[in-house]
Structure 1
Amino acid sequence: MPYPEGHKIKVRGKIIESAAQAFRTNGIRDISVPFIMKGAGLTHGGFYSHFDNKEQLVAEACRYAIGDTIAYLREAAEKAKEEPKIHAVIDYYLSQYHRDRTEMGCILPALSSEISRSSEEVRNVYTQELERMIQFISDVGGIDRSTGSALLSTMVGSLVLARSVNDPALSDSLLSSGKRQAKELVAH
């Protein structure tokens, strides 16, 4: 009996979602195809009917994860009442909630150190997605791309450091300092 229409696309989406979650949490190198497939509720034998190799999956997971992050940040901006919408984006991005949920968080701080050693295919997609994130930040903030780049760099760096330390007070301090600096960047 044939699969229903759209089945292959749905399965591919589950694999990409599983990969994005795994890569966000554990990086690229330490995650195997069987682990990703198991996370999608599938056997690893079907992987190659959807992807040519792991590199292609990494690229697709980057696209998916940035889209996911932009959706969360857009929702935060839309819920903002009185403050500039970019402040709501900064507050969400540099929140304890975002810091503590790597599996659903922004992929930029999770993978940046590994991407520089990845294939050109992955680096190209990562670059495109970074550009998309900078454009989103710039648009929401009503700021030029240079300021948008600086703002995103401040936010990503603050989040990386806050996730890296084992002192909760220092981690919280890094988040609040990052928020303060980020908001000063967009002050007109």
Structure 2
Amino acid sequence: MRVSREQVTANREQIVVNAAEQFRRRGFGDVTIADVMKAAGLTHGGFYGYFDSKQALEAAVCERGLAESVAAVDAVRDGEGGEGTAAEAPLRRFVDDYVSARHRDAPEEGCTVAALACDAGRSGPELQQLFVSGITGMAGSLAGLRGQGSAEPAEDGGPDFATLSTMVGAVILSRAVAAADPELSERILAAARERASAPVE
């Protein structure tokens, strides 16, 4: 039976959504095509009707996820995102939401950079180029947040890589020790929240 163009589009979307959740939770290497297709409710053999390779799926997932991460910073800048009150400085609001136990404990729902940066480091230049764009975009948007509220703009007026690195690194490190030493995990998050939202000296 021939599948309609609309159904093909819907199936591809389902594959990307399910792959994104599994990749962010388990990494590229621990997720198979069969895992993704089963979660999407599709047959393993049908995968190549949607993607040429697993690497192509990884790229599609990262491209979308990185764009969503940049958009999340922009939403806070525009007063639409974050869980804090409107009176809080936008940067503080975003940092508190990002560098949180909730984000640490649910990588499948969180930022692609924090979940898959290490995988990207082991991938080829094509996928890494997506991270170049995503990381630069996030850092640029963070610099914009520093221009609002009580925080200071990035010192050189460019992308705020220092704040982004602090936030992403804290989430990664807190995940690395959460099961073995929950108290240390919380300390890492708390220290990074203070550092990332502090005014530039």
Q: TM-score, normalised by structure 1?
A: 0.88
Corresponding residue for residue 150 of structure 2: none
Corresponding residue for residue 151 of structure 1: 163
Q: Which has the higher helix share?
A: 1
Correspondence list, 1:154-169, <5 A: 154-165=166-177, 166-169=180-183
**Structure 1 residues 43-91: Cα deviation after superposition (integer angstroms, max 9, x where no partner):** 1111111111111111111122223444555343486411111111000
Q: Whole-Å Cα distance in 1 between the matches of residues 39 and 25 of structure 2?
A: 13
Q: Whole-Å Cα distance in 1 between the matches of residues 49 and 36 of structure 2?
A: 15
1:41 aligns with 2:41: yes
Correspondence list, 1:61-80, <5 A: 61-73=61-73, 74=75, 75-77=80-82, 80=85
What amino acid is the match of 2:167?
A: M
Q: CA deviation at 1:124?
A: 1.4
Q: 1:171 to 1:108 in 2, by over 3 A?
A: same
**Where does the alignment leave 5 or more consecutive residues of structure 2 unmatched?**
148-152
Correspondence list, 1:1-188, <5 A: 3-73=3-73, 74=75, 75-77=80-82, 80-142=85-147, 143-144=153-154, 146=158, 148-165=160-177, 166-184=180-198, 186=199
Q: Whole-Å Cα distance in 2 between the matches of residues 83 and 187 of structure 1?
A: 17
Q: CA deviation at 1:181?
A: 0.4
Q: CA deviation at 1:132?
A: 2.2
8 Å CA contact 2:27–2:116 kept in 1: the answer is: yes
**Where does the alignment leave 5 or more consecutive residues of structure 1 unmatched?**
none
SS at structure 2 position matched to 1:6: helix
Q: TM-score, normalised by structure 2?
A: 0.83
8 Å CA contact 2:83–2:97 kept in 1: the answer is: no
What amino acid is the match of 1:176?
A: A
SS at structure 2 position matched to 1:31: coil
Paired residue total: 187
8 Å CA contact 1:20–1:64 kept in 2: the answer is: no
8 Å CA contact 1:59–1:126 kept in 2: the answer is: no
Q: CA deviation at 1:2?
A: 5.1
Q: CA deviation at 1:4?
A: 4.7
Identity %: 33
